[in-house]
């Protein structure tokens, strides 16, 4: 079983980078994923799902799908869309943050372009006090992403980013960020990385993840624990009880459509729960990474979910 799961993980991560399939998926399949793991093909069609989530007690963060943009024009277009999304969140009084990927704003084109685009977004986000979280992409972009985050954090409050527990550098990165007192989302990490930069064994990733959660919760900086893993959720709950960590100093986060029953239970137990709702036609890479994590997600999208 382990062997099969390693092969399928590698296969799906390999497929997630296939540009031809990505383009094809934009044309044919958004309805496969819509309303199940993706909010909709655009932000307006996701609003009803977000409102439903808010009514059930969930906070949200929305992500316009799309990454690895190589055209300056598209990166600027993405920036405008992001600003419109923030304005709609405010106008519709949604309880929602915004998540984005720097490669969608031109990270692979130039650092200057990303800064320019991010500043336009942050000027609006700051005005309306809407948190913007910079998702973390693959390891080759980690250093630059953190450096851009630090540059922006000097001028803006409502900006946060993500630390991936599978990277050896994660612990040191958190230490380096401490003086910025950032809101950080902690995740295990979703990309295919070399053993030279990331723990190859899941058990080691899990141990490092727990270590990072503990250090963050004890230092009091607001933390999003973003996982579907019961063992990690239970670990966090025990930690919170043992050290009397206030429930308002952290939140759990999960992806839209994943473990919905567990999400509800956490809310009922008084924990803050944020649901990550992606939208857009560029759903292919996102979906392939979800399959790499759990091939059963394919059956879930095609039928119904098995494990709640």
Examine residue 66 and tell whether it contacts ligand FDA (CB under 6 A): no
Provide the minimum distance between the beta carbon of 174 and ligand FDA in the complex, in angstroms, as a whole number. Answer: 15
Asked whether the beta carbons of 53 and 277 are under 8 A apart, the reply is yes
- The residue range among 31-39, 41-49, 65-73, 181-189 that interacts with ligand FDA, by the rule CB under 6 A, is 181-189
Give the Cα separation of 298 and 308 in Å (integer): 15
Q: Centre a 10 Å sphere on the Cβ of residue 240 and count the other Cβ atoms it contains.
A: 18
Tokens of 65: 């799908």
Which one of 60, 105, 258, 273 is in contact with ligand FDA (CB under 6 A)?
258
Closest separation in Å from C-beta 244 to ligand FDA: 25
Query: Which is nearest to 72 in space by CA: 101, 107, 100, 120?
Result: 107
38 is a site residue for ligand FDA (CB under 6 A): no
Question: Least distance in Å: CB of 257 to ligand FDA?
Answer: 8
Please answer whether residues 105 and 116 qualify as being in contact, where contact means their C-beta atoms are separated by less than 8 angstroms: no
Q: How far apart are CA 202 and CA 293, in angstroms?
A: 11
Segment 107-166, which members bind ligand FDA (CB under 6 A)?
Answer: 135-136, 162, 164
Q: Is the Cβ–Cβ distance between 41 and 30 less than 8 Å?
A: yes
Of 216, 228, 280, 281, which one interacts with ligand FDA (CB under 6 A)? 228
User: How near is the Cβ of 33 to ligand FDA at its closest, in Å?
Assistant: 14
* 97: contact with ligand FDA by CB under 6 A: no
Query: Shortest gap between Cβ of 67 and ligand FDA (angstroms)?
Result: 11
Tell whether residue 64 is a contact of ligand FDA (CB under 6 A).
Answer: no
Query: Is 173 a known active-site residue?
Result: no
Can residue 79 be called a binding residue for ligand FDA (CB under 6 A)? no
Q: Which residues contact 280 (CB under 8 A, 6 or more apart)?
A: 38, 41, 42, 64, 65, 66
Q: Which of 9, 141, 185, 259 is catalytic?
A: 185
**At its nearest, how many Å lie between ligand FDA and the CB of residue 27?**
26
Stretch in the footprint of ligand FDA (CB under 6 A) among 11-19, 20-28, 79-87, 185-193: 185-193
Contact between 65 and 37 (Cβ < 8 Å): no
From the list 132, 148, 143, 184, the residue with the least C-alpha distance to 167 is 143
Let me know if 185 is a catalytic residue: yes
The binder of ligand FDA chosen from 29, 156, 294, 298 (CB under 6 A) = 294
Distance between CA atoms of residues 276 and 255, nearest Å = 5
Residue 198 DSSP symbol: B
The catalytic residue among 135, 138, 173, 206 is 135
If one asks whether residue 259 binds ligand FDA (CB under 6 A), the answer comes out as yes
In 3D, which of 100, 119, 86, 96 has the Cα closest to residue 161?
100
Residue tagged 């053993």 (tokens) = 195
Nearer to ligand FDA, 22 or 161 (CB): 161
Q: Could you please report the per-residue DSSP string of 156-194?
A: -SSEEEEEETTBTTHHHHHHHHGGG---EEEE---S---
Tell me which stretch binds ligand FDA (CB under 6 A): 14-22, 38-46, 104-112, 184-192. Answer: 184-192
Nearer to ligand FDA, 99 or 117 (CB): 99
Q: Which stretch binds ligand FDA (CB under 6 A): 68-76, 149-157, 188-196, 235-243?
A: 188-196
What number of other Cβ atoms are within 10 A of residue 48's Cβ?
12
**Which residues does the annotation mark as catalytic?**
135, 185
Residues that bind ligand FDA (CB under 6 A): 135-136, 162, 164, 187-191, 226-229, 253-255, 258-259, 276, 293-294, 297, 307
């Amino acid at each position: 079983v382990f062997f099969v799961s390693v092969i399928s993980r590698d296969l799906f991560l390999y497929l997630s980078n296939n540009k031809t399939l990505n383009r094809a998926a934009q044309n044919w399949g958004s309805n496969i994923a819509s309303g199940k793991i993706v909010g909709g093909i655009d932000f307006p069609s996701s609003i009803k799902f977000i409102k439903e989530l808010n009514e059930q007690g969930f906070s949200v963060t929305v992500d316009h799908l799309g990454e690895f943009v190589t055209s300056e024009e598209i990166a600027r277009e993405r920036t405008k869309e992001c600003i419109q999304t923030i304005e709609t969140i405010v106008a519709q009084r949604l309880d929602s943050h915004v998540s984005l990927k720097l490669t969608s704003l031109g990270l692979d084109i130039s650092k200057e372009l990303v800064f320019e685009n991010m500043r336009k977004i942050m000027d609006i986000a700051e005005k309306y006090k809407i948190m913007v979280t910079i998702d973390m992409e693959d390891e080759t972009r980690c250093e630059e992403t953190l450096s851009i985050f630090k540059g922006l954090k000097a001028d803006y409050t409502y900006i946060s980013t993500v630390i991936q527990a599978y990277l050896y550098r994660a612990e040191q990165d958190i230490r380096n960020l401490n003086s910025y007192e950032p809101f950080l989302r902690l995740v295990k990490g979703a990309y295919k990385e070399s053993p030279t930069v990331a723990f190859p064994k899941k058990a080691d990733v899990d141990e490092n993840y727990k270590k990072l959660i503990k250090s963050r919760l004890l230092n009091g900086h607001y933390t999003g624990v973003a996982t579907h893993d019961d063992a990690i959720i239970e670990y966090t709950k025990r930690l919170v009880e043992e050290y009397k960590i206030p429930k308002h100093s952290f939140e759990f986060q999960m992806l839209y459509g994943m473990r919905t029953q567990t999400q509800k239970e956490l809310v009922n137990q008084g924990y803050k729960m944020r649901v990550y709702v992606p939208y857009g036609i560029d759903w292919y890479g996102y979906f392939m990474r979800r399959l790499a994590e759990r091939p059963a997600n394919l059956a879930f999208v095609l039928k119904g979910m098995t494990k709640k």
